[in-house]
Copies of this chain bind each other. A is one copy, B any other.
Amino acid sequence: MEFKEILNHARFSQVGFVVRDIEATKALFAKLFNVEEPETRPDAGQFEVTGTEIYGKPAPKANAKLAFMDLVPGVQLELIEPNEEPSVWRDAMEKYGEGIHHIAFNCENADEVAELLVKEFGGTIEQRGKYGDASGQYIYIDCFDQLKCRIELLESFR
């Protein structure tokens, strides 16, 4: 695993927010950006497909509604309304309130980049799972100590 190679393949792609009322916040951002309101996905997928894990343990009930808008081409605003179950989303909202939750990077090798963030940047893997249609995976890594934020890695399998 060559350090240089991995990082050059990660591309900034998202600013993610946790919100209490995704419909209300979505409407406001659509008005702000003067775009049509995007559809709200009712959940992030079913556990049988996503295999959601929180701190390495299966979390079949953790879920959230999702909506996406372009900030600029290739960089999205993600709105996340967590359900009531513990998750990286619900826990952050309980603790810090609504607001910016993570920045995300697309990469081709999320497992390796996650390992690097853990080993070289003091990160902790908080939650991970496959996309609802099994077309990729996400990994949330608490990098607050060194990088002052939560980083999400996104990997498309296609």
- Given A74-B72, A121-B32, the answer on whether A99 and B17 have CB atoms closer than 8 Å is no
Copies of the chain in the assembly: 2
Selected interface stretch from A5-13, A37-45, A124-132? A5-13
User: Chain B residues near A25 (CB, 8 Å)?
Assistant: 146-148
Whether B148 lies near A34 (C-beta < 8 A) is no
- What is the number of residues of chain A that contact chain B, defined by CB distance less than 8 Å? 32
User: Distance (Å) between the CB of A148 and the closest chain B CB?
Assistant: 5
A100 CB within 8 Å of chain B: yes
Which residue in B3, B72, B121, B147 is a CB contact (below 8 Å) of A11?
B72
Alpha-carbon separation in the docked complex, A121 to B33 (Å)? 12
Whether A99 lies near B149 (C-beta < 8 A) is yes
Whether A149 lies near B17 (C-beta < 8 A) is yes
Alpha-carbon separation in the docked complex, A53 to B20 (Å)? 33
CB-CB nearest 3 A-B residue pairs: A12-B71, A7-B34, A98-B148
